[in-house]
Amino acid sequence: MLMESTMQQGALTVAGILRYGLHAFPEAEVITYDGTHGSRISFKEVAQRAAQLANALAGIGIQPSDRVGTFCFNHHEHLESYLGIPASGSVIHTLNVRLAPDQLQFVIDDAGDRAIIVDGIILPMLAQVLDGCPSVETLIVVGAVLDQAVREELSKKLRVLDYEEFLSGAEPTFEWPDIVETDAAMICYSSGTTGNPKGVVYSHRSTYLHAISALPLYGQRSWNILGSKGDIALIVVPMFHAAAWGAPYACWFTGSTMIMPGRFLQAEPLASMIEMFRPTVSSGVPTIWNDLLHYLEEHPTDVSSLRMLTSGGSATPRSLIQEYLDKYGIPVVSGWGMTETSPVCTLAIPPSGTPRERLVDYLETAGKVVPGVELRIVGENQQVQPWDGKALGEIEVRGPWITAGYLGGHGVENFDDGWLRTGDIATVDPEGYVRIVDRTKDVIKSGGEWISSIELENAIMAHPAVAEAAVIAVPDDRWFERPLAFVVVKPGTDLEVAELREFLSTRVAKWWLPERYSFVDAIPRTSVGKFHKKVLREGYQSGVYSIHEVDRSEGSR
């Protein structure tokens, strides 16, 4: 038998996170924005309300392991659920408010949610699917309900309670139970573009370790002892996306002020919040940062408080990173991960001491692994590939916040001897920086060579007249597959195919140049804001898009 240590086990649990922030930073604040103002609440009050929530849920019969859904934007009530539900032993199931009704119904039913905490303003969206969700007994409504008829109709079938009334009678302390750290804390469904969503069940252990790994993003300034302020985090990434990338728990650990934007996620209110609350850091998808950048061009705003933006969920275009750095001195740090990975696996922090003119070369990568995650790339031959910046392989990851499967045992084909196969194709350079080349299903297989749809999109989006672009593979008689580029031109500008091809010819290999273009008003997006390439492929097959095809003799492969 091997020698055991003398150490305490010291279970890593959400109750531990809750107690830590309460004891270390009772006066730290959470600000929730209502469209014009911010209301402030202290960590101590949030902790007391989390305990009230746990007591009230116990009062309606919610037991350990029972699932409690949230159908909410980002606000302090959602944070109370993040803390109080898992700490009490129940499981929070964060529901994506942008899911299609059939998918929403599927995930509520699949997880077996017994109660759902729901924003009053989107109660009608939830109401339309609840007939297909027999497990749901109780709705707890946050904020005002605009459509009282919906509420009255729901009240005939379910217990419908007001969140503040629900909490008001409950005790503000709770004897948080001892919990086995590998037990469930949170469920988040992976929004695959094919098939039904699949449930990823985060444990207390994974939640805790993932949050700890994110601390430098949200608490770094507190350690600059001489004369700097603590971090203030504007949490734009929705709390229904993979635990908001760990930001709420990380800020709770570091005592950083959290700004919760509610449903006000457009560029204009975000700019207002930045001027009003002066955040130092913010996390969100590239689309948000792109929209904000365009807004700032027209509406000068003081964004000098920001020391860093974090971008993830899809690739961040180099041009976007370059503009934020050049115009505002703000580094945009990309992260890479997925719901299955909690999600943070990598962060594009440049090596210390990188000269300013080389920063973007690192910031535009997917970054290097954070401590806790192990990563490898595996080629078509199933061989682990070298980190030479050239060899391509599918990214595989393992570690304490990487899933080993899905709720109900689905999807085990995604695993390779204990490593999660991610479906992303990448290179890794000798310094450990990962560059995502494509999705395994999006890469364009042209004449035995691979063309990265993402690199092509980035090259196209670098053109000043292009607002956004998406590239898919379409069948080709000669080369088997060739790229088709969907292009959205910026309002008030014109763009000819010939000009775009001329522009691209200096940026990509000649044989990568698409022959097919389609100018569209917008690129369709998935519920989490990514390009919905499945819709583009289907639309192309059914002939809904007008395609401009150039003469092959112009030199394309």
Interacting positions 137-196 with its own copies (CB under 8 A): 180, 182-185
Each residue 395-434 as x (binds its own copies by CB under 8 A) or -, in order, gives ---xxxxxxxxxx----------x-x---------xxx--
Among 34, 59, 223, 447, binds its own copies (CB under 8 A): 223
CB of 203 to its own copies, least distance (A): 3
Residue with Cβ nearer its own copies (204 or 482)? 204
Alpha carbon distance 542, 538 (integer Å): 6
Residue with Cβ nearer its own copies (120 or 399)? 399
Residue 525: DSSP 8-state: B
Residue with Cβ nearer its own copies (48 or 452)? 48
Among 116, 121, 201, 528, binds its own copies (CB under 8 A): 201
Alpha carbon distance 545, 295 (integer Å): 29
CB atoms within 10 A of CB 340: 25
Structure tokens at 171: 């005790």
Strand 67-71, strand 115-119: pairing: parallel
Residue with Cβ nearer its own copies (181 or 455)? 181
CB of 12 to its own copies, least distance (A): 7
Among 37, 40, 159, 229, binds its own copies (CB under 8 A): 229
Among 58, 293, 359, 462, binds its own copies (CB under 8 A): 359
CB of 45 to its own copies, least distance (A): 15
# chain residues binding its own copies, by CB under 8 A: 91
Each residue 363-382 as x (binds its own copies by CB under 8 A) or -, in order, gives -----xx-xx-x--------
Instruction: Report the amino acid identity of residue 38.
Output: G
Residue with Cβ nearer its own copies (270 or 434)? 434
Q: Give the interface segment with its own copies, choosing from 102-110, 214-222, 265-273, 452-460 (CB under 8 A).
A: 214-222
Residue 258 CA: distances (Å) to CA of 254, 344, 533: 11, 19, 34
CB of 186 to its own copies, least distance (A): 9
CB atoms within 10 A of CB 235: 26
Short-list 285, 207, 220, CA closest to 248: 207
Q: Give the interface segment with its own copies, choosing from 147-155, 282-290, 392-400, 499-507 (CB under 8 A).
A: 392-400
State which of positions 483-522 bind its own copies (CB under 8 A). none
Short-list 268, 342, 349, 273, CA closest to 308: 349
Alpha carbon distance 223, 200 (integer Å): 34
DSSP code per residue over 303-342:
-TT-SEEEE-SSPPPHHHHHHIIIII---EEEEEE-GGG-
| Using rule CB under 8 A, residue 279 touches its own copies | no
Helix residue ranges per DSSP H, 236-285: 247-254, 267-277
CB of 371 to its own copies, least distance (A): 5
Q: Which residues pair with 489 in a beta bridge?
A: 466
Q: Which residue do the tokens 């910026």 mark? A: 490
Helices 453-461 and 497-505 cross at an angle (nearest 10°) of 110
Alpha carbon distance 458, 445 (integer Å): 18
Alpha carbon distance 112, 109 (integer Å): 5
Instruction: Report the amino acid identity of residue 192.
Output: G
CB of 176 to its own copies, least distance (A): 12
Residue with Cβ nearer its own copies (170 or 250)? 250
Structure tokens at 546: 């007008």
CB of 160 to its own copies, least distance (A): 26
Among 69, 143, 230, 514, binds its own copies (CB under 8 A): 230
Residue with Cβ nearer its own copies (259 or 420)? 420
Short-list 372, 341, 351, CA closest to 213: 372
Phi-psi domain of 418 (left: phi exceeds 0; alpha: psi -120 through 50; beta: other): left
State which of positions 85-114 bind its own copies (CB under 8 A). 89, 91
Among 27, 175, 413, 494, binds its own copies (CB under 8 A): 27
Among 35, 59, 61, 64, binds its own copies (CB under 8 A): 64
State which of positions 317-356 bind its own copies (CB under 8 A). 329, 331, 333, 349-353, 356
CB of 180 to its own copies, least distance (A): 7
Among 43, 245, 253, 512, binds its own copies (CB under 8 A): 253
Distance of CA 98 to the CA centre of its chain: 13
Residue with Cβ nearer its own copies (209 or 244)? 209
Structure tokens at 310: 């974090």
Instruction: Report the amino acid identity of residue 333.
Output: V
Residue with Cβ nearer its own copies (10 or 492)? 10
